[in-house]
Structure 1
């Protein structure tokens, strides 16, 4: 197969209910927020991680669908695999802690091997110069931070643990028994949740960079599949209930594109649904209405009038 021939831009909408979509380690794992607007944030890195996890889960072990950035993996071991393929029988490949390509031709072969074998390298790109040097790849697929449509108000929930960690702790709890047959719950914990938030992220797919990385039509189909289903296999107690709600794709008729991405994104408007009426989220009359707590509290509109020539709108979800 050949690389994709069309440029794509897309809008991804997903929501969270009673969960933490992306904790901030610099803020005690509170949900990420814009400090000036209080709108929630989910990093592009977090979204790419979910795509990687879905691809690995759905196509584990398949040729060309391996994942480069895995939890606990050693990147240089994967670089060494490329050198084994490009330099068969070379003893230095197994022994040396540092390896570098001997020529531009070899460097190109190493990059191509990494792209051909690792889905996330040919999709998102990678810097692979960590000691065992396989160069770097600019990925054709890039994503922005996701931002919530309205400000979020995170809630801190206290929880208790019934079980003891060890025998000593168990005895201490029993000593605190007040006679009702229940041991004292002394182990406390906290969970940070967003009661509800609808998030919007933008994505870009470059056909020209896809040509260099070998990103093909079947890779594009898998990316769309992952965006639609990645939350279905990413459940955890911390993240609550998350789901992809909309995936709107703008397909261009050629590799360079037929319109600026921002102009296409502006055609997708999201407002509050008040008895079937669209209202801007900054409409002051919304103060008289309760906060959004489900997806149907919002309304999504797509302006399809006077679309630029060569641009097609595809609603995948």
Structure 2
């Protein structure tokens, strides 16, 4: 059972592709029109984690596409019936079997009622740490535009030249007691974030790479600092829209280190994973994260 609250910072990037298209806007990458930053929904990150846990770890997932023999997609009520007939039976079996409900919660519709679990793990909307460069790509298809036609079909799509996306998350120990979230579940969550991102190999997602993951675990009851993602920024050697790789920036952790040090008496430990191409900067100098964060137990995640 989870006894401590945790905060999570997760950064990943994508180049020449679409991290999260908007189906109501020609599947364009989501852009904040005021800031020019790329937005990625928390549902997209949760889908990444769910798919990894189901496809690579063999975990049962409640929210997933299941088709019957006729190819029709199973609805939520039918999915709930897979776990029992009564409200009590469904609730018990879903929590015992479905890691995504233990992590993220969910509403499970029944014939005359529903069961709602508040997820212990919640993420905000992901947002790029810089303005992005949106491009429209045109091309031709492999087939003719119609029977007897000589011309091929035309297609167009929207991509981002580069986007470094940051997610902020929190694990609430109180909600964890309701869904029976275990430390093993949390370990799989972290693995799913990192390895799930690397294993996104659909046409629009291939090339995404996890870059930095920091998990701050607290020892003081019902306490967390809050907003840790806002404590990091990029020091860039090119304009925002010209960023193409981690070679074009360093990750400034000045404010993060300050707030962690200020709250060190309330922190149990810090766990992290960092890609070798990412450079951290503190007080104008590149630095190893272990050297930057002092007087707090810190260790690398084994993923």
Instruction: State the SS of the aligned residue for 1:237.
Output: coil
Instruction: State the SS of the aligned residue for 1:136.
Output: strand
Structure 1 segment 100-249 matched on structure 2, within 5 A? 101=87, 106=88, 109-131=89-111, 133-164=113-144, 169=147, 171-173=148-150, 185-249=151-215
Higher relative contact order (CA 8 A, sep 6+): 1
Question: Residue 70 of structure 1 corresponds to which residue in structure 2?
Answer: 64
The C-alpha deviation readout for 1:268-314, integer Å capped at 9, x for no partner, is: x121343xxxxxxxxxxx65x98211023221233434241131332
Query: Quick one: which of 42, 45, 49 aligns to 2:43?
Result: 45
Question: Residue 20 of structure 1 corresponds to which residue in structure 2?
Answer: 18
The C-alpha deviation readout for 1:76-125, integer Å capped at 9, x for no partner, is: 223223334x6xxxxxxxxxxxxxx4xxxx4xx54232111111111101
The C-alpha deviation readout for 1:162-206, integer Å capped at 9, x for no partner, is: 3347xx63x432xxxxxxxxxxx4311112110111111101100
Go from structure 1 to structure 2 and tell me whether the alpha carbon gap of 1:132 and 1:224 turns closer, same or farther (over 3 Å shift).
farther
Instruction: State the SS of the aligned residue for 2:82.
Output: helix
| Residue 310 (structure 1) aligned with residue 266 (structure 2) | yes
Query: Quick one: which of 251, 258, 280 aligns to 1:300?
Result: 251
Question: Residue 11 of structure 1 corresponds to which residue in structure 2?
Answer: 9
Q: Say whether the 8 Å CA contact 1:248–1:313 is kept in structure 2.
A: yes
Q: CA deviation at 1:151?
A: 1.4
Report the Cα distance in structure 1 between the residues aligned to 2:23 and 2:205, rounded to whole angstroms. Answer: 15
Question: Residue 30 of structure 1 corresponds to which residue in structure 2?
Answer: 28
Larger Rg: 1
Report the Cα distance in structure 2 between the residues aligned to 1:256 and 1:21, rounded to whole angstroms. Answer: 34
TM-score under structure 1 normalisation? Answer: 0.76
Q: CA deviation at 1:55?
A: 0.6
Report the Cα distance in structure 2 between the residues aligned to 1:131 and 1:199, rounded to whole angstroms. Answer: 40
Report the Cα distance in structure 2 between the residues aligned to 1:206 and 1:218, rounded to whole angstroms. Answer: 15
Q: Which runs of 4+ in 1 moved over 6 A?
A: none
Report the Cα distance in structure 2 between the residues aligned to 1:74 and 1:266, rounded to whole angstroms. Answer: 39
Report the Cα distance in structure 2 between the residues aligned to 1:224 and 1:255, rounded to whole angstroms. Answer: 22
Question: Residue 233 of structure 2 corresponds to which residue in structure 1?
Answer: 270
Normalized per residue, the structure richer in strand is 2
Q: Report how many aligned residue pairs link the two structures.
A: 261
Runs of at least 5 residues in structure 2 that lack an aligned partner in the other structure: 66-72, 275-303
Runs of at least 5 residues in structure 1 that lack an aligned partner in the other structure: 87-100, 174-184, 275-285
Question: Residue 84 of structure 2 corresponds to which residue in structure 1?
Answer: 83
Question: Residue 292 of structure 2 corresponds to which residue in structure 1?
Answer: none
Across the aligned residues of Structure 1 and Structure 2, the Cα RMSD in angstroms comes to 2.2
Question: Residue 225 of structure 2 corresponds to which residue in structure 1?
Answer: 260
Q: Say whether the 8 Å CA contact 2:132–2:241 is kept in structure 1.
A: no
Q: Say whether the 8 Å CA contact 1:18–1:194 is kept in structure 2.
A: yes
